[in-house]
Amino acid sequence: MGHLKNNQVEKILLINRRSAGYQHSKVEEILLGDFFDLSSIREKVANYHACFFCLGISSIGMKEPEYKKTTYDLTLNFAGLLAEVNPGMTFCYVSGAGTDSSEQGRSMWARVKGKTENDLQKLSLNVYNFRPAFMKPFKDAEHAKSALKPLISIFSLFRPFNPSYFLTLEEVGKAMINVSIHGYSKHILETKDIAFMSSTK
Protein backbone atom coordinates (compact mmCIF):
# COMPACT_ATOMS: atom_id res chain seq x y z
CA MET A 1 0.00 0.00 0.00
CA GLY A 2 2.04 2.92 -1.36
CA HIS A 3 0.17 5.61 0.59
CA LEU A 4 1.69 4.30 3.84
CA LYS A 5 5.20 5.12 2.59
CA ASN A 6 4.30 8.70 1.73
CA ASN A 7 5.39 11.11 4.46
CA GLN A 8 2.68 13.59 3.46
CA VAL A 9 -0.03 11.07 4.34
CA GLU A 10 -0.73 11.43 8.05
CA LYS A 11 -3.72 9.12 8.46
CA ILE A 12 -5.81 6.77 6.34
CA LEU A 13 -9.39 5.79 7.05
CA LEU A 14 -10.44 2.72 5.08
CA ILE A 15 -14.17 2.14 4.66
CA ASN A 16 -14.80 -1.32 3.24
CA ARG A 17 -17.37 -4.08 3.11
CA ARG A 18 -14.70 -6.58 4.12
CA SER A 19 -11.32 -6.09 5.74
CA ALA A 20 -8.38 -5.08 3.56
CA GLY A 21 -6.07 -6.74 6.03
CA TYR A 22 -3.72 -3.80 6.61
CA GLN A 23 -2.15 -3.32 10.03
CA HIS A 24 -0.36 0.02 10.40
CA SER A 25 -0.27 2.93 12.82
CA LYS A 26 -1.57 5.26 10.10
CA VAL A 27 -4.54 3.07 9.22
CA GLU A 28 -7.99 2.87 10.75
CA GLU A 29 -10.57 0.63 9.11
CA ILE A 30 -14.34 0.65 9.30
CA LEU A 31 -16.40 -2.24 7.95
CA LEU A 32 -19.68 -1.00 6.53
CA GLY A 33 -22.21 -3.51 5.28
CA ASP A 34 -24.62 -1.00 3.73
CA PHE A 35 -23.14 1.96 1.84
CA PHE A 36 -26.60 3.49 1.61
CA ASP A 37 -26.79 3.82 5.40
CA LEU A 38 -23.96 6.13 6.42
CA SER A 39 -25.32 7.27 9.79
CA SER A 40 -22.73 5.25 11.72
CA ILE A 41 -19.74 6.92 10.01
CA ARG A 42 -20.89 10.54 9.85
CA GLU A 43 -18.60 11.71 12.66
CA LYS A 44 -15.74 9.47 11.57
CA VAL A 45 -15.35 11.03 8.12
CA ALA A 46 -15.13 14.63 9.33
CA ASN A 47 -11.90 16.63 9.10
CA TYR A 48 -10.21 14.63 6.36
CA HIS A 49 -8.37 16.39 3.54
CA ALA A 50 -9.23 13.99 0.71
CA CYS A 51 -11.34 11.00 -0.25
CA PHE A 52 -10.20 8.41 -2.78
CA PHE A 53 -13.44 6.80 -3.93
CA CYS A 54 -12.47 3.54 -5.62
CA LEU A 55 -15.62 1.48 -5.18
CA GLY A 56 -16.98 0.10 -8.41
CA ILE A 57 -18.52 -2.86 -10.19
CA SER A 58 -18.45 -4.28 -13.70
CA SER A 59 -21.53 -3.58 -15.82
CA ILE A 60 -21.30 -6.97 -17.54
CA GLY A 61 -24.64 -8.75 -17.26
CA MET A 62 -26.32 -5.86 -15.43
CA LYS A 63 -29.39 -3.88 -16.42
CA GLU A 64 -29.12 -0.09 -16.34
CA PRO A 65 -31.29 0.50 -13.21
CA GLU A 66 -29.22 -1.99 -11.21
CA TYR A 67 -25.92 -0.60 -12.47
CA LYS A 68 -27.06 2.97 -11.82
CA LYS A 69 -27.93 2.11 -8.22
CA THR A 70 -24.54 0.57 -7.47
CA THR A 71 -22.59 3.21 -9.41
CA TYR A 72 -24.40 6.56 -9.48
CA ASP A 73 -26.72 6.35 -6.46
CA LEU A 74 -24.16 4.83 -4.11
CA THR A 75 -21.40 7.26 -5.11
CA LEU A 76 -23.57 10.38 -4.85
CA ASN A 77 -24.93 9.20 -1.50
CA PHE A 78 -21.42 8.90 -0.07
CA ALA A 79 -20.13 12.10 -1.67
CA GLY A 80 -23.21 13.96 -0.45
CA LEU A 81 -22.35 13.10 3.14
CA LEU A 82 -18.79 14.32 2.67
CA ALA A 83 -20.05 17.55 1.14
CA GLU A 84 -22.08 18.13 4.30
CA VAL A 85 -19.41 17.35 6.90
CA ASN A 86 -16.28 18.25 4.89
CA PRO A 87 -17.21 20.96 2.37
CA GLY A 88 -14.35 21.78 0.03
CA MET A 89 -12.48 18.51 0.55
CA THR A 90 -10.78 16.88 -2.43
CA PHE A 91 -12.78 13.97 -3.84
CA CYS A 92 -10.92 11.68 -6.27
CA TYR A 93 -13.40 9.50 -8.12
CA VAL A 94 -12.19 6.49 -10.10
CA SER A 95 -14.30 6.49 -13.24
CA GLY A 96 -12.94 4.90 -16.40
CA ALA A 97 -11.51 5.53 -19.86
CA GLY A 98 -14.35 6.03 -22.32
CA THR A 99 -16.74 7.64 -19.84
CA ASP A 100 -19.44 9.63 -21.66
CA SER A 101 -19.70 13.18 -20.31
CA SER A 102 -22.63 13.90 -22.65
CA GLU A 103 -24.69 11.13 -20.98
CA GLN A 104 -26.20 10.47 -24.42
CA GLY A 105 -24.06 7.71 -25.95
CA ARG A 106 -24.96 4.09 -26.68
CA SER A 107 -22.79 2.58 -23.97
CA MET A 108 -24.84 2.17 -20.79
CA TRP A 109 -21.94 2.08 -18.36
CA ALA A 110 -20.32 5.13 -19.99
CA ARG A 111 -23.55 7.16 -19.70
CA VAL A 112 -23.97 6.24 -16.03
CA LYS A 113 -20.34 7.03 -15.25
CA GLY A 114 -20.70 10.32 -17.13
CA LYS A 115 -23.74 11.32 -15.11
CA THR A 116 -21.91 10.37 -11.93
CA GLU A 117 -18.95 12.57 -12.85
CA ASN A 118 -21.18 15.47 -13.86
CA ASP A 119 -23.30 15.42 -10.72
CA LEU A 120 -20.31 15.07 -8.42
CA GLN A 121 -19.10 18.38 -9.80
CA LYS A 122 -22.28 20.03 -8.53
CA LEU A 123 -21.47 19.23 -4.89
CA SER A 124 -19.44 21.43 -2.56
CA LEU A 125 -16.37 19.25 -3.07
CA ASN A 126 -13.17 19.70 -5.07
CA VAL A 127 -13.79 16.80 -7.45
CA TYR A 128 -11.24 15.15 -9.73
CA ASN A 129 -12.49 12.37 -12.00
CA PHE A 130 -9.83 9.77 -12.80
CA ARG A 131 -10.31 7.80 -16.01
CA PRO A 132 -7.76 4.97 -16.02
CA ALA A 133 -7.91 2.19 -18.59
CA PHE A 134 -5.99 -1.00 -17.76
CA MET A 135 -4.80 -1.08 -14.15
CA LYS A 136 -2.41 -3.78 -12.99
CA PRO A 137 -3.15 -4.92 -9.41
CA PHE A 138 -0.43 -5.51 -6.87
CA LYS A 139 1.21 -8.91 -7.23
CA ASP A 140 -0.32 -10.23 -4.00
CA ALA A 141 -3.75 -8.58 -4.38
CA GLU A 142 -6.25 -10.98 -2.84
CA HIS A 143 -9.35 -9.69 -4.63
CA ALA A 144 -8.07 -9.52 -8.21
CA LYS A 145 -10.51 -11.40 -10.41
CA SER A 146 -9.17 -14.63 -11.84
CA ALA A 147 -10.38 -13.54 -15.29
CA LEU A 148 -7.82 -10.72 -15.23
CA LYS A 149 -4.83 -12.92 -14.45
CA PRO A 150 -4.01 -13.77 -18.10
CA LEU A 151 -3.94 -10.05 -18.92
CA ILE A 152 -1.83 -9.29 -15.86
CA SER A 153 0.73 -11.85 -16.96
CA ILE A 154 1.34 -10.04 -20.26
CA PHE A 155 1.20 -6.51 -18.82
CA SER A 156 4.94 -6.07 -19.35
CA LEU A 157 4.55 -6.84 -23.06
CA PHE A 158 1.90 -4.18 -23.72
CA ARG A 159 3.11 -1.39 -21.46
CA PRO A 160 6.18 -0.34 -23.53
CA PHE A 161 3.89 0.47 -26.46
CA ASN A 162 1.51 2.65 -24.42
CA PRO A 163 2.82 3.28 -20.88
CA SER A 164 0.09 5.77 -19.99
CA TYR A 165 -2.69 3.32 -20.93
CA PHE A 166 -1.24 0.39 -18.97
CA LEU A 167 -0.91 1.76 -15.44
CA THR A 168 -0.28 0.08 -12.12
CA LEU A 169 -2.55 0.61 -9.12
CA GLU A 170 0.43 2.16 -7.35
CA GLU A 171 0.78 4.78 -10.09
CA VAL A 172 -2.92 5.65 -9.91
CA GLY A 173 -2.61 5.97 -6.12
CA LYS A 174 0.43 8.25 -6.44
CA ALA A 175 -1.45 10.42 -8.92
CA MET A 176 -4.36 10.77 -6.49
CA ILE A 177 -2.03 11.80 -3.67
CA ASN A 178 -0.27 14.35 -5.87
CA VAL A 179 -3.54 15.80 -7.15
CA SER A 180 -4.82 16.07 -3.58
CA ILE A 181 -1.69 17.95 -2.52
CA HIS A 182 -0.94 20.05 -5.59
CA GLY A 183 -4.26 20.21 -7.45
CA TYR A 184 -4.46 19.88 -11.24
CA SER A 185 -5.42 22.08 -14.16
CA LYS A 186 -8.26 19.77 -15.22
CA HIS A 187 -10.98 18.02 -13.25
CA ILE A 188 -11.12 15.06 -15.63
CA LEU A 189 -7.86 13.13 -15.76
CA GLU A 190 -7.44 10.83 -18.73
CA THR A 191 -4.75 8.13 -18.79
CA LYS A 192 -1.96 10.51 -19.87
CA ASP A 193 -2.87 12.96 -17.10
CA ILE A 194 -2.80 10.17 -14.53
CA ALA A 195 0.59 8.95 -15.76
CA PHE A 196 1.96 12.51 -15.60
CA MET A 197 0.69 13.14 -12.07
CA SER A 198 1.99 9.78 -10.86
CA SER A 199 5.53 10.99 -11.56
CA THR A 200 5.12 14.42 -9.98
CA LYS A 201 7.22 14.98 -6.86
Residues 133-153 have pLDDT tens digits of 988 765 555 555 555 566 666
Residues 6+ apart with CB under 8 A from 59: 67, 71, 108, 109, 112
The CATH number given to 2-198 is 3.40.50.720
Please report which confidence band the pLDDT of residue 2 belongs to, taking 50, 70 and 90 as the band edges. Answer: low
- Of 6-10, 40-44, 131-135, which has the strongest mean pLDDT? 40-44
pLDDT at 34: 94
CB 94 within 8 A of CB 133: no
Distance between first and last Cα of the chain: 18
Determine how many CB atoms are found less than 10 A away from the CB of residue 17: 10
Q: What is the pTM of this model?
A: 0.88
- Residue 31: beta bridge partners? 16
Q: What is the pLDDT of residues 74-105, one digit of tens each?
A: 999 999 999 999 999 999 999 999 999 999 99
